[in-house]
Amino acid sequence: MDHFLYRNGILHAEDVPLPEIAASVGTPVYVYSTATLTRHFQVFSDALAGMPHLICYAMKANSNQAVLRVMAGLGAGMDVVSGGEYRRAKAAGVPGERIVFSGVGKTREEMTLALEGGIRQFNVESEPELLALDEVARGLGLRAPVAIRVNPDVDAKTHAKIATGKSENKFGIPIARAREVYAEAARLEGIEITGIDVHIGSQLTGLAPYEAAFTRVADLTEALRADGHSITRLDLGGGLGIPYRRANEAPPLPFDYGEVIRRTVGHLGCEIEIEPGRLIAGNAGILLTEVIYLKKGEGRDFLIVDSAMNDLIRPAMYDAWHDIVPVVEATPGAELRPFDVVGPVCESGDTFARARDLPDAAAGDLLAFRSAGAYGAVMASEYNSRPLIPEVLVSGDQFAVVRARPSFEEMLARDSIPPWLSET
């Protein structure tokens, strides 16, 4: 469910008509719904009711400060994967004890930043990282709380580029070696073992991979406890999918995901951490764009819009589908015909949809790319010297720009000319 609905034939974000945002801010623009962010967080919280838990929002999905502030106000923790994300989380008011630091390439500088600023735990991904973290922590006179990420060799049945739990993926330690690595961690003075971490991928549309992975984690928990380790937390990752194709997709609900957690690890008495990102932010955002031209081609027609692959790279990168709808609702029974929806970047890959059945459109019409709140703005670039597009947050009948579109002067000012090329 989201809060982007037609009212009197006009698509609204909560109580704000989208044409009003386009007129005020320009296009293209990302628009986020506070009500949807809030509802999706609450759905996860309800799914885990009765179990000690912390929902750590995976901020790589959408790290705008306003979005993070909404999450922080709801009591969310944060899952961060860089020093920059750690700083963003702290700037949004999230205390260190609610921040989990994930990622395979943490630097010593990032470790120092988090240890000095406060951290709930590091999700350690390798033995070299474990040794480096021990060294940094001892140098600061501290102990680093860790959960070691295990790779359960479970096929998440998702896109190859977002699968993380198979043996050939770069993430985590093979679960068969976990007891050995935990024994090594227990000997390190700068390390404090707190739990186990697992994450098998993103955009999962079935529960069976979770069941398999969590069952292996439950067995490992009991084995590690038998070895004398205190395992008090289980970080079960995120990855639950969203319905990008609303007409024919129905991923599992958070309630059913919660039931899998209860069934597989609920008996262990551990605090549960989960790291949803896409399911919280994905359907909470749309990309609002304007048609520049209708171009008739040889055997196909093109809708050329003012957004491009640098603004939303998922279709070019993953062949990802986003539902595309007119902001002014088509009349009932309106004829649909196939269009290729493309952007102005000089790449054939700058294509959002091929042969997509849509109502007729003309220059100046507004379109909305649904389910664009996750991995949209955060993956954007200034390719072709196109400025990063603004982001807008809606709450009820109010909206505000939460990241402004930079001017060309601001873009150019980030470059510098070396002395030997300067004018004399």
> What pLDDT is stored for residue 159 in this prediction?
43
Nearest Cα neighbor of 272 from 362, 169, 198 is 198
Residue type, 213: A
Which domains, ranges and CATH numbers included, belong to the chain? Answer: 4-31+282-413 (2.40.37.10), 103-274 (3.20.20.10)
pLDDT per residue rounded down to tens, the chain (424 residues)? 689 999 999 999 999 999 999 999 999 999 999 999 999 999 999 999 999 999 999 999 999 999 999 999 999 999 999 999 999 999 999 999 999 999 999 999 999 999 999 999 999 999 999 999 999 999 999 999 999 999 887 764 544 444 444 445 556 899 999 999 999 999 999 999 999 999 988 788 888 889 999 999 999 999 999 999 999 999 999 888 888 876 666 778 899 999 999 999 999 999 999 999 999 999 999 999 999 999 998 888 999 999 999 999 999 998 999 999 999 999 988 899 999 999 999 999 999 999 999 999 999 999 999 999 999 999 999 999 999 999 999 999 999 999 999 999 999 999 999 999 987 5
Q: Is 24 within 8 Å of 406 (Cβ atoms)?
A: no
**DSSP code for 384:** G
> What pLDDT is stored for residue 167 in this prediction?
47
* The length of the chain, given as a count of residues: 424
> What pLDDT is stored for residue 164 in this prediction?
44
Q: Is 90 within 8 Å of 79 (Cβ atoms)?
A: no
Distance CA 178, CA 347 (A): 45
H or E element at residue 35: helix 34-47
Distance CA 28, CA 305 (A): 9
Q: Residue 43: CB partners within 8 Å, gap ≥ 6? A: 253, 254, 255
Q: Residue 280: CB partners within 8 Å, gap ≥ 6? A: 37, 40, 41, 44, 57, 61, 71, 374
CA angle at 42 for the pair 322 and 194, rounded to the nearest 5°: 100
- Taking each continuous run of H as one helix and of E as one strand, the counts in the chain are 12, 21
Helix (H/G/I), strand (E/B), else coil: 4: strand
Nearest Cα neighbor of 257 from 280, 274, 278 is 274
Distance CA 93, CA 340 (A): 43
Distance CA 406, CA 386 (A): 10
Q: Is 266 within 8 Å of 52 (Cβ atoms)?
A: no
Please state the separation of Cα 77 from the chain's center in Å: 14
Give catalytic residues, as residue numbers.
346
Distance CA 419, CA 80 (A): 39
Please state the separation of Cα 171 from the chain's center in Å: 17
> What pLDDT is stored for residue 399 in this prediction?
98
Cβ-based burial of 423 (10 A; exposed 0-12, middle 13-18, buried ≥19): exposed
Distance CA 278, CA 285 (A): 11
This model's pTM is above 0.85: yes
Task: For 248-314, give the DSSP string.
Answer: T--PPPHHHHHHHHHHHHGGG-PEEEE---HHHHGGGEEEEEEEEEEEE-SS-EEEEES--TTT--H
Annotate 107-169 with three-state secondary structure: CHHHHHHHHHHCCCEEEECCHHHHHHHHHHHHHCCCCEEEEEEEECCCCCCCCHHHECCCCCC
- The sign of the torsion formed by the CA atoms of 396, 352, 24, 402 equals positive
| Residue listed under structure tokens 């944060």 | 78
| Residue listed under structure tokens 């640098």 | 310
Q: Is 361 within 8 Å of 402 (Cβ atoms)?
A: no
> Residue 385, Cβ neighbours under 10 Å: how many?
9
> What pLDDT is stored for residue 333 in this prediction?
85
